[in-house]
Structure 1
Amino acid sequence: MIDNQNDLTNTSDAQSRLRRKGGRSRRASVLLGAVALGAVTVAGLAQGTLLPPYNQAVAATAAGNPAAVQPSFADVVAKVKPAVVSVRVKVAEAAPAESSFSGDESGFPPGSPMERFFRRFGENAPNGAPGGERRGPGPKRFGEAQGSGFFVTSDGYIVTNNHVVEKGTKVEVTTDDGRTLAAKVVGVDPKTDLALLKTEEKGPFPAVPFAKETPRIGDWVIAVGNPFGLGGTVTAGIVSARGRDIGAGPYDDFLQIDAPVNRGNSGGPTFNLAGEVVGVNTAIASPSGGSVGIAFAVPSETAGKVIAEIQDHGSVKRGFLGVQIQPVTLDIAEGIGLDKAQGALIARVEEGSPGGKAGLKTGDAITALNGKPVKDARDLSRAVAMLDPGATAELSVYRSGKTETVKVKLGSMPGEKTAAAGPGSPADLGKLGLALAPAEEVRGMEGKGVAIVGVEPGSQAEEKGLRAGDVIAEAGGQKVSTPQDVASAIEKSRKEGRKAVLLQLASPQGGRFLALTLPTG
């Protein structure tokens, strides 16, 4: 089971089992561990194969300081922990359609005779409605999601996971020194499960950088976050694997780490020993819902680029090739004459796409991109998506028994086209209290329009009933598909001398209109 970790679970059963363990077996385990450690230390001294930081530890032991055998992460933790925050999100839950009565309200089990009696005759029947039936929709209910995050700039930008904030109506962060700050969603990228928040509180805030180098398998890492609501928790482990595909999205390329990561760690950072963020914790594989030593983090090279795009443009721009691809299996490799099953086979070329214009053909096998070998179809998808629209990609293509070089000027991924921010446009959306994204990019949404992914607490948008999850179909009488379309409609309404912009909202229950007063200044 792959489990995104933004829920709080009960650990009392696990704690009681630990308390029932006998002290004798525990002492035996400690002794066995000491013996095992001694064996490893002796072997390392004999072969000279120990890696830092154990080299220094062994040297210290030989000098008569046994306490130095285990490395300490305290200096790194002291450096990075102030930048890590706990994220709390108020989430609107679906209201009951007709009845607000439940067995829990009566104190009797649902379906029991007494529960049926109270349902029929109890005080929960509003306005004398028989059977406890509510006339009209019930009151909106709210839940709370919890996660983690970290400051990436001193002026208050915070990174977390999209799944932590995607359904939120109000976001707050708690800093390491105990302050609670209101935050708004700047933008999200569901395809990599990343989100960028911003607090308007005055800084400076302690910030941490993304690592520029990819960690090696076996490198030490430190995870800091808010597991089970316990903020400021630090765990340590190593990088277990790289390039993991867990089926979470089209560009999966996760680091696997064995540092204990649990529910509530989502969106929190994993650091190297230099105090740089090497990954953003996103998911765990667990049969129980708790840590079993298999956690997944978005690597820094992906997270750094995505967050920079969101900060600059409000969404992510990705390169687009315009071809449908599939893996090169052993049978396919033998059939087309390739030496090994590696690369991506073109199954279809979209008419008028960048790949089609460059001369790519069905049956071509793409074996390298900009000189770097392509492992498989997913590897090619990730690599192209990391390039900017308009960039020229040099493809090595195996065709009719020989390799050719094809240069392609990449386009923009459909549905992710976002124009450069014009003067005042981002500020206008911010003053309205809205964070927007193309609806087709937002997980769980279908159709066209612009999705509201965040509403600033206390803004006029919140006061007039807009919520995360609403979809704007038209703004100022114009159909919209990107946040920039909405910003353009606002600017047009202002130039026409209007004091408000009219929004048409779409929902499965039908559409409605709502006017927002235009920001001034």
Structure 2
Amino acid sequence: MRELVRLVAAASALFVYSGALAQERRVPESRQELKLSFAPVVAQTTPAVVNIYATRTEKRRRNPIMDDPFFRQFFGDGAQPQERVQRSLGSGVIVSDDGLVITNNHVVEGMTEMRVALSDKRELPAKLILKDKRTDLAVLRIGEGKEKFPALAFGDSDALAIGDLVLAVGNPFGVGQTVTSGIVSALARTQNGLGDFQSFIQTDAAINPGNSGGALVDLDGRLVGVNTAIFSQTGSSVGIGFAIPANMVKVVVSSARAGSKGVIRPWFGAELQPVTTEIAESLGLKHPAGALVSSVAKGSPAAKAGVETGDLITAVDGRPVDDVEGFAFRFATQPVGGQTTVSAQRQGKPISMIVALAAAPETPARDQRTIGGESPFTGATVANLSPALAEEMALKSDLRGVVVAEVAGGSIAERLGFQKGDLVRQVNDGKVGSTRDLEKASAGSQGYWKVTIERDGQLITSVF
């Protein structure tokens, strides 16, 4: 009898467990269930989704001919410089009750004034706290901590499954707050050129211009993604939208809370290459998957963990890695400090390595300088390349030297074709080892200039 009771209890527990799983994900089973509404989720989430209005005022230069007093007799003061106002419209999500707002970097890039419109019709000035071009995310602050705001809790974007129902909330075309529904169409979308850390959530929930920076939420009202782009030939939604996963958004928000000027990510210190069909065949793989280590920087966390050239990385912290972009996303969403497990195959045998989650070192110091005078580099801002700067600029981690960090518009450097990310190797056959060397070499008066740079692994020598 006791044995029968135990069996009944076990069967009941199994039934309850199976019922719980069924409640998590299932299709509607009755006409009544088809009448269920998203209204409770909408009411819960929309107060935390805001509209963002950003502006920048530029002065347009007047025609130089107007400097001549003769022409001013005819045109008078009406030819004075005019102001042109550029505007940007987007959406945002309040992610903490003290007023932190996440949005897309492209919504606020270059803007000097930002205002946030809340769902209760109030408009508040916003301050840019942090921006990260590599993920196309930016963090704003409203309220200066003086009041509490409705905020969305983060969900686990890694727990999403293809087919899950989601809602997109934003301000498309500036018509006002709008909610659309759809499903998760695909996960870990890469190779779409939207950012350096590509692992986007694809959804068919209607996303249109103005939705950028808005919320993608699950049916529990949690933020699982930030809407960022659409694939369209018309400019309107055709059912292919992309959202930045919440687990990447968390990293950016954490950096903003820590008071960092930029996002602090762990440094791996190895270069990876995609696994082609030919490489997969040579490694004895059934299909192309993973990320192949092509080089390892000396002294990097990867080197210290024992990562070797030729290793095929297959997982980070137990989560599969399908390609190079997938590894970059998985590793970048790990918190700095502590360690993680990187799984790989070496000569056909599975191995695992413990990698320290450390920030890239800032050595040598950047010693950033803007080159003046009259040389090919006039108007270029250069810096000593360190692992930290290489990570920031998405350059190879084993590169060293002097890198062009910025090029001023209309400068001599821009007209001569120098680009951000160029490594300056030689000037007039003299090696350039530091920004001080380059500034010194650029100060002299030369009849001609012979410059060698490295761009995308290729050495280019030009004479000016």
- Local SS of the residue matching 1:346: strand
Map of 1:236 onto structure 2: 181
* 1:221 aligned partner: 166
SS at match of 1:333: helix
The aligned counterpart of 1:307 is 253
Q: Deviations over 1:306-332 (max 9, x none)?
A: 212222233321111111111222321
Contact 1:270 1:281 in 2 (8 A): yes
Aligned to 1:54, the other structure's residue is in SS state coil
Instruction: Work out whether residues 54 and 70 of structure 1, in 8 Å CA contact, stay in contact via their aligned partners in 2.
Output: no
Residue of structure 2 equivalent to 1:291: 237
Superposed CA deviations along residues 393-413 of structure 1, whole A, max 9, x for unmatched, are 333333334333333324324
Equivalent residue, structure 2, for 1:145: 88
Cα deviation, 1:457-494, whole Å, max 9, x if unaligned, reads xxxxxxxxxxxxxxxxxxxxxxxxxxxxxxxxxxxxxx
Question: In the TM superposition, what is the alpha-carbon distance from 1:173 to its structure 2 partner?
Answer: 0.6
1:207/1:368 CA distance change after superposition, 3 Å: closer
1:267 corresponds to which residue? 213
Match of 1:281 in 2: 227
Local SS of the residue matching 1:79: helix
Q: In structure 1, what is the Cα distance between the partners aligned to 2:95 and 2:276?
A: 42
User: Which residue of 28, 37, 49 corresponds with 1:54?
Assistant: 28
**How far apart are the structure 2 equivalents of 1:260 and 1:234?**
9
Whole-angstrom distance in 1 between the partners of 2:393 and 2:108: 12
CA deviations over 1:262-294 (Å, ceiling 9, x no partner) = 111110101212111111110011101111111
Quote the residue 1:256 is aligned against.
Answer: 202
Distance 2:345 2:89 in 1: 49
CA distance in 1, matches of 2:353, 2:106: 39
- Structure 2 stretches lacking a partner, 5+ long: 1-21, 365-387, 395-402, 407-464
Question: How far apart, CA to CA, are the structure 1 residues paired with 2:251 and 2:315?
Answer: 22
Which residue in the other structure is 1:166 paired with?
Answer: 109
How far has the Cα of 1:261 moved from its partner?
A: 1.1
Cα 1:98–1:196 shift into 2, 3 Å: same
Q: Kindly indicate whether the alpha-carbon contact (under 8 Å) linking 2:186 and 2:201 is maintained by their aligned counterparts in 1.
A: yes
Alignment partner of 1:198 out of 117, 128, 141 = 141
Is 1:157 aligned to residue 100 of structure 2?
yes
Q: Name the SS of the counterpart of 1:403 in structure 2.
A: strand
Equivalenced residues, count: 352
The equivalent of 1:99 in structure 2 is: 63
**1:179 matches 2:122:** yes
Matching residue's letter, 1:223:
A
Query: Corresponding residue for 2:332?
Result: 385
Rate the CA distance shift 1:96–1:237 in 2: closer, same or farther, 3 A.
Answer: same
Distance 2:312 2:391 in 1: 30
Distance 2:151 2:229 in 1: 23
Per-residue CA deviations over 1:425-482 (Å, capped at 9, x if unaligned) read: xxxxxxxxxxxx9899589xx9459xxxxxxxxxxxxxxxxxxxxxxxxxxxxxxxxx
Unaligned runs of at least 5 residues, structure 1? 1-47, 61-67, 101-119, 418-436, 450-521
| CA contact 1:330–1:341 (8 Å) conserved in 2 | yes
Q: Give yes or no for the alignment of 1:80 onto 2:45.
A: yes
Structure 1 SS opposite 2:252: helix
* CA displacement at 1:341 relative to structure 2: 2.6
CA distance in 1, matches of 2:88, 2:289: 42
| Structure 1 residue 164: Cα displacement | 0.6
Q: Mean Cα displacement is larger for which, 69-78 or 236-245? A: 69-78
| Secondary structure class of the residue paired with 2:134 | coil
Which amino acid in structure 2 is aligned with residue 196 of structure 1?
Answer: V
8 Å Cα contact 1:415-1:441 kept in structure 2: no
Equivalent residues of 2:296, 2:307 under 8 A apart: yes
**Aligned match of 2:295:** 348
Give the whole-Å Cα distance in 1 for the aligned partners of 2:288 and 2:84: 53
Normalising to structure 2: TM-score of the pair? 0.67
SS at match of 2:258: helix
Which residue of 2 is the match for residue 483 of structure 1?
none
User: Does structure 2 conserve the Cα–Cα contact (< 8 Å) formed by 1:125 and 1:132?
Assistant: no
Question: Which residue identity lines up with residue 295 of structure 2 in the other structure?
Answer: R
Q: Relative to 1, partners in 2 of residues 1:173 and 1:128: Cα closer, same or farther, differing over 3 Å?
A: farther
Structure 1 pair 406/90, CA: closer, same or farther in 2 (3 Å)?
same
Q: Deviations over 1:348-398 (max 9, x none)?
A: 222332223333322222233334333222222222222234433333333
Which residue in the other structure is 1:517 paired with? none
CA spacing shift, 1:439–1:225, aligned 2, 3 Å: farther
Deviation at 1:138, TM superposition (A): 3.7
Q: Give 1:297 deviation, angstroms.
A: 0.8
Counterpart Cα distance in 2 of 1:195 and 1:139: 30
For the 8 Å contact 1:439–1:447, the answer to whether it is kept is: no
In the alignment, which residue of structure 1 is the partner of 2:152? 208
Judged with a 3 Å threshold, the aligned counterparts in structure 2 of structure 1 residues 298 and 386 are, in CA distance, closer, same or farther, namely: same
- TM-score normalised over the length of structure 1: 0.60
Mapped to 2, the partners of 1:97 and 1:414 lie a distance apart of: 43
CA 1:308/1:277 → structure 2, altered by over 3 Å: closer, same or farther? same
DSSP 3-state at the match of 2:40: helix
Give a deviation string over 1:51-76, Cα, whole Å, max 9, x none. 76733x51x3xxxxxxx744322222
Contact 1:244 1:256 in 2 (8 A): yes
Aligned to 1:11: none
Supply the RMSD in Å over aligned alpha carbons: 3.8
Higher normalized contact order (CA 8 Å, seq sep 6+, divided by chain length):
1
The 8 Å contact of residues 198 and 326 in structure 2, kept in 1 or not, is answered as no
Alignment of 1:425-464 (within 5 A): 441=392, 447-448=404-405
1:4-19 correspondence to structure 2 within 5 Å: none
Q: Distance in 1 between matches of 2:34 and 2:318?
A: 45
Q: Is the Cα contact below 8 Å between 1:258 and 1:295 reproduced in 2?
A: yes
CA contact (8 A) 2:360 2:391 kept: no
Aligned partner of 1:405 among 341, 352, 356:
352
C-alpha distance in structure 2 between counterparts of 1:326 and 1:215, whole Å: 27
8 Å CA contact 1:126–1:133 kept in 2: the answer is no
In 2: Cα distance, 1:354 partner to 1:439 partner: 15
